[in-house]
Amino acid sequence: MASPQPLLRVRGIGKRYGDRVALQDASFDLWPGEVLAIVGESGSGKSTLLNAVAARDKPDAGSVQFQTRSAGLREVFAMSEAEQRLLARTDWGFVHQNAAEGLRMDVSAGANVGERLMGLGERHYGRLRATASEWLARVEIDPARIDDAPRTFSGGMRQRLQIARNLVTRPRLVFMDEPTSGLDVSVQARLLDLLRQLTRQMQLAAIVVTHDLAVARLLAHRMMVMQRGRVVEAGLTDQLLDDPQHPYTQLLVSSVLQP
């Protein structure tokens, strides 16, 4: 059953860079446990929208409200920076396309996972190590690599480590910007499988930015299609891919999904 209130309520988000309008009047709700894909070609404003909603980059207009654990629906941009930071490292996660932006490349894999737990006040070394080891296994990294730095990992392993680092605090909402894009096709497929499993198991709500409709089809319950900074179509993933209404979506679907 749907909860009476969304986890995230986004209204009228806009952003310009100088004269260029990067994003105009984007609105949506996200429900607990729901995965939303934001698709569109390069430059359509997907990352701008994601970064605005995740409070990483302040928009010029609009509102983002998040259902906090302690105080109900709150306007994210009215929170203090300290509150925003706390949210970002506990109840939210952010998975970057480039793992180096989301990891500390020179500290151990274990420390990368343990850091967010320490941010929540966990100080017990044995427990931190045990939890980190458990999470490495969950993302299919050999726990024997716990003391190795991500610099020594392959691209796919780095991305899986970034996911472990984000999920260890059991966030309710994870933002992902092209999480599989930099990887080889076979590595992408495995990572997608893992993401699908984890989002289902943890009933994680997620917003996944992707230019790849196959990623949306595999992961997302709902999708939003962007073109030139505007949302041109939104709906249930299956319906939207089977029966796209907007000419741009029709073009995307016909050019990508057909052999």
Ligand X SMILES: Nc1ncnc2c1ncn2[C@@H]1O[C@H](COP(=O)(O)OP(=O)(O)O)[C@@H](O)[C@H]1O
User: Where does this chain bind Mg ion (CB under 5 A)?
Assistant: 47
Q: How far is the CB of 55 from ligand X (least distance, A)?
A: 16
Site string for ligand X, 18-57 (x = CB under 6 A): --x-x-----------------x-xxxxxxx---------
Give the up-direction half-sphere exposure of residue 97: CA atoms within 13 A in the CB hemisphere: 13
The option from ligand X, Mg ion, none interacting with 210 (CB < 5 to 8 A, set by class) reads none
Q: Which of 143, 139, 194 is nearest to 161 (CA)?
A: 139
For residues 20 and 123, which CB has a smaller minimum distance to ligand X in the complex? Answer: 20
| 52, 84 contact by CB (below 8 A) | no
By CB under 6 A, which span of 17-25, 76-84, 101-109, 248-256 interacts with ligand X?
A: 17-25
Round to whole Å and give the CA distance between 246 and 231: 11
73-110 burial, b for 16+ CB within 10 Å, e for fewer? ebebeebeeeebeebbbbbbbbbbbebeebbeeeebbb
Among 17, 73, 124, 137, binds ligand X (CB under 6 A): 17
Q: Which of 119, 114, 103 is nearest to 136 (CA)?
A: 114
Q: How far is the CB of 110 from ligand X (least distance, A)?
A: 32
Round to whole Å and give the CA distance between 68 and 127: 27
The option from Mg ion, ligand X, none interacting with 40 (CB < 5 to 8 A, set by class) reads ligand X
Q: How far is the CB of 22 from ligand X (least distance, A)?
A: 3
For residues 112 and 249, which CB has a smaller minimum distance to ligand X in the complex? Answer: 249
For residues 47 and 188, which CB has a smaller minimum distance to Mg ion in the complex? Answer: 47
Q: How far is the CB of 166 from Mg ion (least distance, A)?
A: 18
Round to whole Å and give the CA distance between 61 and 152: 42
CA gyration radius, the chain: 18
* Closest residue to Mg ion using C-beta atoms: 47
Q: How far is the CB of 12 from Mg ion (least distance, A)?
A: 21
Q: How far is the CB of 233 from ligand X (least distance, A)?
A: 15
Round to whole Å and give the CA distance between 198 and 230: 30
Kindly list the residues in this chain that would bind ligand X in the complex (CB under 6 A).
17, 20, 22, 40, 42-48
